[in-house]
Amino acid sequence: MNNHTRGGNDDIAAVEKRLGISRRSFLQFCAAMAASMGLPAGADAAIANAVASKKRPSVIWLHFQECTGCTESMLRAEHPTLEKLILDVISLDYHETLFAAAGHQVEAARKAAMKANKGQYLLVVEGAIPTKDNGIYCKIGGQTALDMLKECAADAAAVIAIGSCASWGGMPSTGPNPTGASSVAEVLGKPVATIPGCPPNPYNFLSTVVHFLTFGKLPELDAKGRPKFAYSRLVHDNCERRAHFDAGRFAMEFGDEGHRKGYCLYKLGCKGPETFANCPSILFGDVGNASWPVGTGHPCIGCTEQGVGFTKPIHALANLKTNPPNGYPHIVEEQGKGASIAAVAVVAAVGGAAVGAAGAMAKNLGKCKTECPGKAVEKPAAETERTTS
């Protein structure tokens, strides 16, 4: 065994002892981080080495217009012992919620950490920043949130906005927005890494920090500053109810037969078809299967998307960014009762009238109360006319 390998094993053994978790659990965690970020083979070893041996980056965590739900969500994750691991991965030098001290002592600790780690610390911002009337609607230690953010961001190695409030304004920015609540990027006038959600999944934040710790840079971000590994696909794409949407099976009201059977919640206002997030893939709270809103029977409210969450009425239909394939069958496909969707699509393609296929596909979004053979099915008016003509 060479010295490098021996040193790596010693570091991992030290982490194992310090955190009270097994080597296996720690390595599985590192592998999961690498997989969730889409990193190449071998990245898990680099992550394990970085977490075990590198100096923990200093983190200044600011709280502004928010409910502290982002912090609460992070502290309640349990795989593996996230509250221990995140505090071991980073050196949390300022956090108003978690500090035992208060008042002048806390502000002195913040300034000392910023001075000692100038140009190297991570700045994490939770909550929107009120900008109206020079920011007088949120003050900490006599300093406005507006001024504190600019001061702390000036010498930060990277800035991460956690939660929808910090990422794009969130609930505080919803009209009429009397305080002029704004996002971190708007106030600083430059792009920052954003982890939207209300609250966001703590593992998206942790993965972003671990990437920075391992590679010295933030993961690849999209145009809105969101890590692509977490926000590159629609909720709708990975939803366990997607097959019901494609086949035209919808819950029409809470508690009806379709709702009890796990049908698609689109007709109840689910915003999954226009919301980018990985909620159905990694779930919430480490409590097992279906531990996310749609899994428990409630429509997605689009909390990660500006202009959707806290803006669109909760039961308003989502704007479809993807549609079911033309060839999918009806809920009940009756033989000899008119053309199938696939047939209409072919005719439309041949005739150059794509609207024909689109119209047939749209029928799949019509109201249907059951798929059970032998029971009455309520058909859209257009289909009734087609089958009786």
Strand 158-162, strand 143-144: pairing:
unpaired
What is the SS3 assignment for 281-342? Answer: HHCCCCCCCCCCCHHHCCCCCCCCCCCCCCCCCCCCCCCCCCCCCCCCCCCCCCCCCCCCHH
In this predicted structure, what is the pLDDT of residue 82? 56
Q: Would you kindly state where each structural domain of the chain is located, as residue ranges?
A: 1-54, 55-229, 235-388
CA distance linking residue 211 with residue 46, whole number of Å:
10
Tokens of 380: 């859209």
Which residue has better confidence, 290 or 259?
259
pLDDT digits (tens, 9 = 90+) for 79-121: 555 566 666 677 788 988 888 778 888 899 899 999 999 999 9
Least confident residue range of 262-266, 281-285, 298-302, 318-322 = 281-285
Count CB-CB contacts under 10 A for residue 154.
12
pLDDT digits (tens, 9 = 90+) for 279-288: 998 888 767 6
pLDDT digits (tens, 9 = 90+) for 336-382: 444 444 444 444 444 444 444 444 444 445 444 444 444 444 444 44
Residues in binding site for [3Fe-4S] cluster: 279, 300, 303
> Band of the pLDDT at 133, cuts 50, 70, 90?
very high
> CATH code for 235-388?
4.10.480.10
Q: For tokens 């500006």, what's the residue?
A: 306
253, pLDDT greater than 50: yes
Residues in binding site for [4Fe-4S] cluster: 67, 70, 165, 198, 236, 239, 264, 270
CA distance linking residue 272 with residue 280, whole number of Å:
10
Among 3.40.50.300, 3.40.50.700, 3.30.465.10, 3.10.620.30, name the CATH number for the domain at 55-229. 3.40.50.700
CA distance linking residue 127 with residue 183, whole number of Å:
8
CA distance linking residue 88 with residue 108, whole number of Å:
23
pTM for the structure as a whole: 0.75
Q: Residue 154 contacts by C-beta under 8 Å, 6 or more apart in sequence?
A: none
The β-bridge partners of 264 are 250
CA distance linking residue 332 with residue 377, whole number of Å:
8
Angle, CA of 22, 27 and 30, to the nearest 5°: 130
Strand 91-95, strand 139-140: pairing:
unpaired
Residues in binding site: 67, 70, 165, 198, 236, 239, 264, 270, 279, 300, 303
Count CB-CB contacts under 10 A for residue 143.
14
